[in-house]
């Protein structure tokens, strides 16, 4: 009897131990599965992160040493006519017979740039060379400046390409992917602020996609950085830690300390070939004066729609006039894409090729219409 009870207890104990072993194995498998899932998530996240292999204490110094020979100093001379204020006096003009000619005054200018081809094409800002009657480039290691000519320029984008004669292959810089750079990434600026050649400053990207207005020029999609950018830095390169150019230093915020801006290389790459080959950037154009419809604007004008883009004026002989668009029309869609702001409409039009047709939906005094518009090249304004 006693032996039978002992056997039963041993059997129960064995079953319990077997159950514990099975549970332990199951928990271990679940833990391994979770670990594997976490590892997979980390691997997926790592794939989307821009990495800079080989970064160390000498990285910046090595980038500067390698890149600086392709960074140039640009010197310009702008000749301006200066009127004698006494010529505003009719008596003075009559006394001297009205034959006094305006005096010419030469104004020097400074900027930076960088070489993008071995045969001597140089990228800089349009405002660096604007109005210059003489342009020359100083290259590291050469005693004398080299005369330069404007191969192409665009006022709106503030970009210009210069050409110098090269007797040998010149050092060049590689354009990187500005879309891949993130806020917080380190960047390096090289240029000639105040004429001080080979000046290096370091900072981070503090913002992206900044719109900035300076005088009558409207910049879009700028990179913002706290790397010091001063007068003379304009046109110089902004590097990532791979030694690639991700921006063209272009402006400094006079209202704040430590904030500068650069044109992203994504913008440069879209137009570089055009600037070199035809000397300008061709832009599709509708020929309308527009503003975003707001609730206040709709109420003021008595519009029956409080969103879209209102046409305030139509340029004579423009694609818009030929398509039958009129002042007061509200553009609601282009090629089936809803349009609610001026920037949205501008982006859509600028993405088209000259000569391409657009299907434009409008609201005209409550009546919905569709017109077909063939975009043309925007006329040059001379600025």
Catalytic residues: 127, 158, 234
d(CA 201, CA 188): 6
Ramachandran class of 6: left when φ > 0, alpha when ψ lies in -120 to 50, beta otherwise:
alpha
Nearest to 359 by CA among 346, 349, 367: 349
**55-65 burial code (b ≥16 CB/10 A, e <16):** eeeebbeebbe
φ, ψ at 290 (rounded to 5°): -135, 160
**Angle at CA of residue 94, ends 92 and 96, nearest 5°:** 70
* Residue the block writes with tokens 């009897």: 1
Beta-ladder partners of 337: 334
Q: How far is CA 196 from CA 160, 220, 232, in A?
A: 22, 29, 8
Residue 230, judged by CB atoms within 10 A of its CB (0-12, 13-18, 19+), counts as: middle
């Amino acid at each position: 009897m006693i032996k039978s009870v002992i056997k039963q207890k041993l059997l129960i104990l064995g079953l319990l131990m077997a159950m514990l072993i099975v549970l332990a194995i199951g928990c271990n498998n679940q833990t391994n599965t979770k670990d594997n899932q976490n590892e997979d998530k980390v691997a997926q996240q790592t794939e989307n992160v821009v990495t800079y292999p080989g970064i160390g204490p000498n990285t910046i110094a090595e980038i500067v040493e390698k890149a600086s020979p392709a960074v140039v100093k640009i010197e310009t001379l702008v000749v301006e006519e200066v009127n004698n204020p006494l010529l505003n006096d009719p008596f003075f003009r009559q006394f001297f017979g009205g034959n006094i000619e305006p005096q010419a005054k030469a104004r020097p200018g400074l900027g930076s740039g960088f070489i993008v081809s071995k045969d001597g094409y140089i990228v800089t800002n349009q405002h660096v060379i604007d109005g210059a009657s003489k342009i020359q480039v100083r290259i590291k290691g050469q005693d004398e400046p080299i005369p330069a000519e404007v191969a192409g320029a665009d006022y709106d984008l503030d970009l210009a390409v210069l050409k110098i004669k090269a007797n040998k292959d010149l050092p060049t810089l590689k354009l990187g992917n500005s879309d891949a750079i993130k806020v917080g990434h380190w960047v390096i600026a090289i240029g000639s602020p105040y004429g001080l050649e080979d000046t290096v400053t370091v900072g981070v990207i503090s913002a992206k996609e900044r719109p900035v207005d300076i005088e009558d020029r409207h910049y879009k999609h700028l990179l913002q950085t706290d790397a010091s950018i001063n007068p003379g830095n304009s046109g110089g390169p902004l590097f990532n830690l791979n030694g690639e150019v991700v921006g063209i230093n272009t402006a400094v915020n006079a209202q704040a300390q430590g904030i500068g801006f650069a044109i992203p290389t994504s913008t440069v790459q879209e137009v570089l070939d055009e600037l070199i080959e035809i000397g300008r950037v061709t832009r599709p154009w509708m020929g309308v004066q527009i503003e975003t419809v707001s609730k206040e604007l709709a109420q003021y004008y008595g519009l029956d729609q409080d969103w879209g883009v209102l046409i305030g004026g139509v340029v004579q002989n423009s694609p818009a006039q030929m398509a039958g668009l009129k002042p007061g029309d509200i553009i609601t869609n282009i090629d089936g894409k809803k349009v609610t702001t001026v920037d949205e409409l501008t982006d859509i039009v600028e993405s088209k090729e000259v000569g391409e047709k657009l299907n434009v939906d409008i609201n005209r005094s409550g009546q919905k219409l569709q017109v077909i518009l063939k975009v043309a090249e925007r006329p040059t304004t001379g600025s």
